[in-house]
Structure 1
Amino acid sequence: MDKHLRTKQTKTNPILTSSSEEVSSLEWQAVNMNQEEEDLVRRMHKLVGDRWELIAGRIPGRTAAEIERFWVMKYN
C-alpha cells in the first residue's frame, strides 16, 4: 500500500484518506464532556466496544462522531 495513504478500519468499511487532503478543523477539535459523560462512555465502551451509535444513544445531545472523536483523542 502507498505510504501516503492511511487506512482507518471501521466495522462497516475501510476509509482511505490521502495525507495531502485537507482535514476539517472539526475533525481535530477536542470534545468537551463532563465527568458523568466520560464515565458513561468508558463503561459503555467496555461493554459494547466501538459501537459509537449505541453509546451516543445513551448520552442526550451527543453524536456517534463526537463520541468516537472523544475516545480517539483521549484514549489513543
Structure 2
Amino acid sequence: MADIDRSSNNSSPDSKVKSIQTSTVEFSEAEEILIAMVYNLVGERWSLIAGRIPGRTAEEIEKYWTSRYSSSQ
C-alpha cells in the first residue's frame, strides 16, 4: 500500500524545479527598457510585447511587469 500512496503524488522533482526556475526569470537591461517602451505604446497586450523579444513568453513578461510595477508597492 505504501507504493500506491507514493505513486498517487503527481508532482515530480522535475516539475518542482521548473516552477521555481520560471518564477525567477531574469531580464537584461535592454529587455526591461524595451518592455517599458512597448508597454507605453500598447498597454497590457503581453503577447504583442513578447513578440518583440525573442525567447520570451507573454506570461513571463506579464509576471515580470506585475512583480516590478505592481501598484500595491
Q: Is this a same-fold pair by TM over 0.5?
A: yes
Higher-Rg member (1/2): 2
1:33: which partner in 2? 27
Matched, 1:55 2:10: no
Structure having the higher helix fraction is: 2
Structure having the higher strand fraction is: 1
**Structure 1 length-normalised TM:** 0.62
Shift of residue 43, structure 1, vs aligned partner: 0.4
What secondary structure does 2:26 align onto?
A: coil
Aligned length: 52
1:42 to 30, 36, 58: 36
CA distance in 2, matches of 1:42, 1:62: 15
Shift of residue 74, structure 1, vs aligned partner: 0.6
- Which contiguous aligned blocks of 4+ residues in structure 1 show a shift greater than 3 angstroms? none
Shift of residue 29, structure 1, vs aligned partner: 1.2
Q: Which runs of 5+ in 2 are unaligned?
A: 1-18
